[in-house]
Amino acid sequence: MSDLRELYQEVIFDHYKAPRNCHELAGANHRAEGHNPLCGDAITVYLRIEDGTIKDAAFIGNGCAISTASASLMTEALKGKKIAEVEHISEDFRRMVTDASMAPHPGLGKLEVLAGVREFPVRVKCATLAWHTLQAALRGQRSPVTTE
Amino acid sequence: MSFTTDLQREAVVTPRGCAQWRDDFPILRGRVNGKPLVYLDNAATTQKPQAVIDAESRYYAHDNANVHRGVHTLSQRATAAYEAARVKIQRFINAAAAEEIVLVRGATEAINLVAQSYARPRLQPGDEIVISAMEHHSNIVPWQLVGEQTGAVLKVVPINDAGELELDAFRDLLGPRTRLVAITHLSNALGSIVPVESVIALAHDRGVPVLVDGAQAISHLPVDVRALGCDFYAFSGHKIFGPTGIGVLYGRTELLDAMPPYQGGGDMISSVTFDKTEYNDLPYKFEAGTPNIAGAIGLGAALDYVSAIGMQVIAAHEHDLLTYATKAVSGIPGLRIIGTARRKASILSFTLDGMHPHDVGTILDCQGVAIRAGHHCSMPVMQRYGIRGTARASFALYNTREEVDALVAGIRKAQEMFHR
């Protein structure tokens, strides 16, 4: 059960019940839709990017506690970051949730709270849905992405 | 809320009976995440009794050879075992002849076979195929594909809020352009038993053939294809305690005879030249290539196992379990049962307020309880109820009331975690 408590930490519940930046974004100049076919969860990520910096980020969607908390924490982490930094954080996040041998990564800040996902391989796609969708938004991809 | 099956429950199922059955399934002795396994995902696949595992192993250890064409002893033994399995299947569903049993990979392949080989050559633009609103994707997508290929269209019979087929609406949907009805016998998402006898009678009145998707029904209801009167019946071995990779298409001889082959290759031919190829007799016309011989033998052993217990006995036990489980979860605040038909079997789908089925599934898994979470390959059904997915527990002959108690305890624990 301790693994479960690692996965479902207080912060996760907090971000699930009261997700941050959970709304459409007026003035968004990037957006993308993402979809987890495993469970039917869907998300839309909105970004307002100016001068290579993410000025604002938001999302809407319905999903499990892991995917919602991940999206919420992601939008908090993105604001004010340069795109190059965001790519770094994305890659670090992906490694954190998939690689059981990885040591904690200080650069991820609050996102560390999702480290427990790596003990639950079937839930990795929940954690990465928002991030896949973020990538699509950055690249200006038209069609919805999936976690497959 | 109560429901029933139409079976005469003469057999009394004792706890000892069920305990004996559990002993037959080695995997049920196992533990997951440090807890005893409580396997409640039978609608996804069933566990296998030692007899089925042994039958496949024995085949590979003693009788393995390719079937039908060999001239040596092992190939004769393999052929005899394979064809004996076909006869067991024929008897299990009371088909008129073994040639009406086509061995395929599973129910999905069986339905695709009928779509491509029966429907496609016949359908004209504007022709209609009728399905229901509670089908699994495998009984929707093959018809959509054939619709794209031929210009035929799908008509969907609605279900009511309880998840019951609206027979009046079905009657109204049958029209002069209807060419086929494809319908589930037992809904994998809702557990509703569909009155296929009535569906078939109405369809046959209009000269329309009926394919029944029996993937779920085969292990929970007695299936007699002649009593039902269906034209095609499809099911998978792995849902009735048999191996994966083997399934059955039952088709009436008259229909199968008139259908062109589905896949070309060895075994489905009687002679081949570059000018002309003659096709084999039934059922071999539809069995191209080396079949899943071990799988067929394993399926035969599974059907023997079920027959020895008796479907009536199994259904009575499962009915008791589902009643017990339904009552138990009805007492949980915030839980909504999805699928409340008056006639149900095996399946208990539900949602929990403020909790995603995925999270419920993970928390239950940590307690050794295996359920399924999501859309269950029935996205249209989920849409009908305005939800994205459910948590689904599905019972089989080896499940017990204690396991239902574990499910309920797990749900309460999940709620505790989420509503602190």
Tens of pLDDT, residues B316-350: 999 999 999 999 999 999 999 999 999 999 999 99
Q: Is the pLDDT of residue B66 over 50?
A: yes
Residue A1: band (very low, low, confident or very high) from pLDDT cuts 50, 70, 90? low
In this structure, the strands spanning B128-132 and B269-272 are unpaired
Q: Quote the CA–CA distance of B340 and B342 in Å, as a whole number.
A: 6
CB contact under 8 A, B358 and A126: yes
Q: Is the pLDDT of residue B10 over 70?
A: no
Q: Is the pLDDT of residue B5 over 80?
A: no
Chain B residues lying within 8 Å of A8, measured CB to CB: 359, 363, 417
| Predicted pLDDT of residue B7 | 45
| Predicted pLDDT of residue B201 | 98
Q: Does A126 touch chain B (CB under 8 A)?
A: yes
Nearest Cα of chain A lies from the Cα of B355 at a distance, in angstroms, of: 7
Q: For A4-20, what is each residue's pLDDT tens digit?
A: 888 888 899 999 999 99
pLDDT, greater one: A9 or B96: B96
CA distances from B124 to A44, B171, B258 (A): 41, 22, 18
Q: For B365-375, what is each residue's pLDDT tens digit?
A: 999 999 999 99
| Predicted pLDDT of residue B82 | 98
CB contact under 8 A, A64 and B418: no
Among A96, A100, A124, residue whose Cα is nearest residue A108: A96
| Predicted pLDDT of residue B15 | 58
Under a CB-based contact definition with an 8 Å cutoff, are residues B237 and B48 in contact? no
ipTM of the prediction: 0.88
Chain A residues lying within 8 Å of B392, measured CB to CB: none
Residue A77: band (very low, low, confident or very high) from pLDDT cuts 50, 70, 90? very high
Two tokens, residue A62 = 């319905």
Establish, for the pair of chains A and B, how many residue pairs have beta carbons separated by less than 8 Å. 50
| Predicted pLDDT of residue B14 | 61
CB contact under 8 A, B358 and A123: yes
Residue B384: band (very low, low, confident or very high) from pLDDT cuts 50, 70, 90? very high
Tell me the DSSP string of A118-129: GG-GGGHHHHHH
Q: Residue B121's CB: how many other CB atoms inside 10 A?
A: 11
Q: Is the pLDDT of residue B17 over 80?
A: no
Q: Is the pLDDT of residue B1 over 60?
A: no
CB contact under 8 A, A39 and B357: yes
Q: For B215-246, what is each residue's pLDDT tens digit?
A: 999 999 999 999 999 999 999 999 999 999 99
B245-277 burial, b at 16+ Cβ within 10 Å, e below that, comes to: bbbbbbbbeeebeebebbeeeebbbeeeeeeee
Q: Is the pLDDT of residue B104 over 60?
A: yes
Q: Quote the CA–CA distance of B231 and B251 in Å, as a whole number.
A: 6
Based on the residue annotation, tell me whether B18 is a catalytic residue of this protein: no
The region of weakest confidence among A93-102, B33-42, B96-105 is A93-102
| Predicted pLDDT of residue B193 | 98
Q: Is the pLDDT of residue B11 over 70?
A: no
Residue A41: band (very low, low, confident or very high) from pLDDT cuts 50, 70, 90? confident
| Predicted pLDDT of residue B348 | 98
Residue in chain A lying closest to B376 (CA): A39
Strands (E), B51-133: 101-104, 128-132
Residue A106: band (very low, low, confident or very high) from pLDDT cuts 50, 70, 90? low
Residue A94: band (very low, low, confident or very high) from pLDDT cuts 50, 70, 90? very high
Nearest Cα of chain A lies from the Cα of B414 at a distance, in angstroms, of: 11
Among A54, A83, A61, A28, residue whose Cα is nearest residue A133: A61
Average of per-residue pLDDT across B179-187: 98
| Predicted pLDDT of residue A104 | 65
Q: Which residues pair with B293 in a beta bridge?
A: none
| Predicted pLDDT of residue B275 | 86
Q: What percent of chain B has pLDDT over 70?
A: 96
| Predicted pLDDT of residue A39 | 72
CB contact under 8 A, A122 and B357: no
Helix, strand, coil fractions of chain A, as percent rounded to 5:
50, 20, 25
Q: Does A103 touch chain B (CB under 8 A)?
A: no
Q: Is the pLDDT of residue A105 over 90?
A: no
Chain A residues lying within 8 Å of B355, measured CB to CB: 65
Sign of CA dihedral B69, B73, B78, B81: positive
Average of per-residue pLDDT across B3-7: 48
Q: Does B373 touch chain A (CB under 8 A)?
A: yes
Give the position of tokens 């009984």: B139
Residue B297: band (very low, low, confident or very high) from pLDDT cuts 50, 70, 90? very high
Is the bond preceding residue B283 a cis peptide, omega within 30 degrees? yes
| Predicted pLDDT of residue B137 | 96
Burial class (CB in 10 A: 0-12, 13-18, 19+), A6: middle
| Predicted pLDDT of residue B388 | 87
Q: Is the pLDDT of residue B8 over 50?
A: no
pLDDT, averaged across chain B: 94
Q: For B112-161, what is each residue's pLDDT tens digit?
A: 999 999 999 999 999 999 999 999 999 999 999 999 999 999 999 999 99
Average of per-residue pLDDT across A76-89: 94
Tell me the Cα Rg of chain B. 22
Q: Is the pLDDT of residue B16 over 70?
A: no
Under a CB-based contact definition with an 8 Å cutoff, are residues B347 and B187 in contact? yes
As a residue count, chain B comes to 420
Q: Quote the CA–CA distance of B40 and B347 in Å, as a whole number.
A: 9
